[in-house]
Structure 1
Amino acid sequence: MALPPPAEALPTLAGSLQALRAELPSGTRLLAVSKGHPAGVVRQAAALGQHSFGESRLQEAAAKQDQLADLPALDWHFIGRLQANKARAVLRRFGTIHSVDSLALAQRLQRIAAEECLAPAVLLQVKFRPDPAKAGFDPAEVRALEPALEQLAPLRLRGLMTIAPLGLTPEERRTLFRECRDLADALGLEECSMGMSGDWREAVAEGSTWVRLGSALFGQRPIQG
């Protein structure tokens, strides 16, 4: 088992968690992005009452989950780009997937989930602005595919996820997040996973139900890549 971080790190993490919880409204939950941080940091956060964690690299996450197998209450979310050939492994290890970015991927997950007798929660990644660095559905595509998206059981379609491109002003980010919330509402979907360490306050103001925070909570990642 990996050694826990030094004891002196505890007050910093405890303070960050306390400050973030004080700012988040009751309808918004904190997804602690533990990508790049060792299992000991996750264990420490769990001891402080944080149980939902986000990872985006399967191999790193799997090693961490195995080290933390004695903490069965942890709620693991996959937030990275999901390659089709890793779909089965991700389904076996994560209860929620935030990054379903195509109908083909959704249908692959549906087939494998049925084979594995799993019923994961999924969110559709939607791209509201041009961004060559990000994948995702076009908003109009999501609306057009609504009948097909309603037939994805045993997947549980819970909401939408979006990432604001770099270079937007705070007001432009708020507009983007508002569009995401409006589309989710139009589709009858409860969840909006939007807002990261640099823009979560704008996302919360526009109705985010999950904020994905890494550096704002844990500081810079010691594991690079």
Structure 2
Amino acid sequence: MSIAENLTDIRAQIAQLEHANQRPSGAVRLLAVSKTKPVADLEAAYEAGQRCFGENYVQEAVEKHAALAHLTDIEWHFIGPLQSNKAKAVAQTMDWIHSVDREKIALRLSENRPQDMAPLNVLIQVNLSGEASKSGVSLDEIASMAELVNSLPSLTLRGLMAIPAPQVDEASQREVYRPLTQAFLELSQRYDHIDTLSIGMSDDLSAAIASGSTMVRVGTAIFGARNYG
């Protein structure tokens, strides 16, 4: 199947899950995870109407941003872990970052965001499963991180992101997401501009949309298996 056909299928699946969970039509945005994929694949997705793309690696993200600079309505999301020495490149190119989990990263991003660009949209990454191998703040640390991000002039706090550990079934997936959904609701009551809960990938779309996701991150189901060079 083509990238365009894959996108049609994923969009139909999201729409079906929105309806099944009594969510408004269009409540869940699709982020095409395009890491390791060639620029031609992003162009094919763009031609099929996709505008939001997610990249995990800084150098690759910057290169793709430059290659597709003529497509001015692309919305670029950086979704991978970020080292502080690479924060400047992200601040100068991306529209969103999903993986802010440390004060140093937030400060670097704000300091390096060009004044002629809109504020960088920020999601705080939450480590739901307490895995040492994964980035993210704990549930207890969300409030203080949110306060910091909200205080920085070149950042706009938009919400939360998480990548939970794999679960055996949908009921378990929903259970893991429950405290995050609650934390997101509490955050949205505190700040007017909180509107994004970035959870859900190919294996847990149903649980994520049932748990209030407003943005799902899908790669392989759109572009095929990953390319490693």
TM-score by length of 1: 0.88
Take 2:120 and 2:9, find their aligned partners in 1: how far apart are those partners?
A: 31
How far residue 108 of structure 1 moved from its aligned partner, in angstroms, is 2.2
On the 8 A contact 1:35/1:55 being kept in 2, the answer is: yes
Count residues with an aligned counterpart.
214
On the 8 A contact 2:124/2:146 being kept in 1, the answer is: no
Which stretch shows the higher mean deviation, 61-70 or 40-49?
A: 61-70
Take 1:94 and 1:113, find their aligned partners in 2: how far apart are those partners?
A: 10
Identity rate of aligned residues, in percent?
A: 38
Partner of 1:224: 228
Amino acid at match of 1:121: N
1:43-90 CA distance string (max 9 Å, x none): 000001001000011112222222222211111100000110011111
Take 1:144 and 1:168, find their aligned partners in 2: how far apart are those partners?
A: 32
Take 1:224 and 1:64, find their aligned partners in 2: how far apart are those partners?
A: 16
Of 175, 194, 204, the residue aligned with 2:199 is: 194
Partner of 1:18: 8
Partner of 2:208: 203
User: Where do 5+ consecutive residues of structure 2 fail to align?
Assistant: 19-25, 189-193
Which stretch shows the higher mean deviation, 102-111 or 67-76?
A: 102-111
How far residue 101 of structure 1 moved from its aligned partner, in angstroms, is 1.1
3-state SS in 2 of match to 1:161: strand
On the 8 A contact 2:95/2:121 being kept in 1, the answer is: yes
3-state SS in 2 of match to 1:105: helix
On the 8 A contact 2:84/2:104 being kept in 1, the answer is: no
Amino acid at match of 2:205: W
3-state SS in 1 of match to 2:197: strand
Which stretch shows the higher mean deviation, 176-185 or 162-171?
A: 162-171
3-state SS in 1 of match to 2:119: coil
3-state SS in 1 of match to 2:113: helix
Taking the TM superposition and a 5 Å limit, the aligned residue runs for 1:111-150 are 111-113=111-113, 118-150=118-150
User: Where do 5+ consecutive residues of structure 1 fail to align?
Assistant: 1-10
How far residue 147 of structure 1 moved from its aligned partner, in angstroms, is 3.7
Taking the TM superposition and a 5 Å limit, the aligned residue runs for 1:101-120 are 101-113=101-113, 118-120=118-120
Take 2:168 and 2:50, find their aligned partners in 1: how far apart are those partners?
A: 30
On the 8 A contact 1:178/1:207 being kept in 2, the answer is: no
Take 2:223 and 2:143, find their aligned partners in 1: how far apart are those partners?
A: 37
Change (3 A) 1:122 1:219: same
On the 8 A contact 1:53/1:76 being kept in 2, the answer is: yes
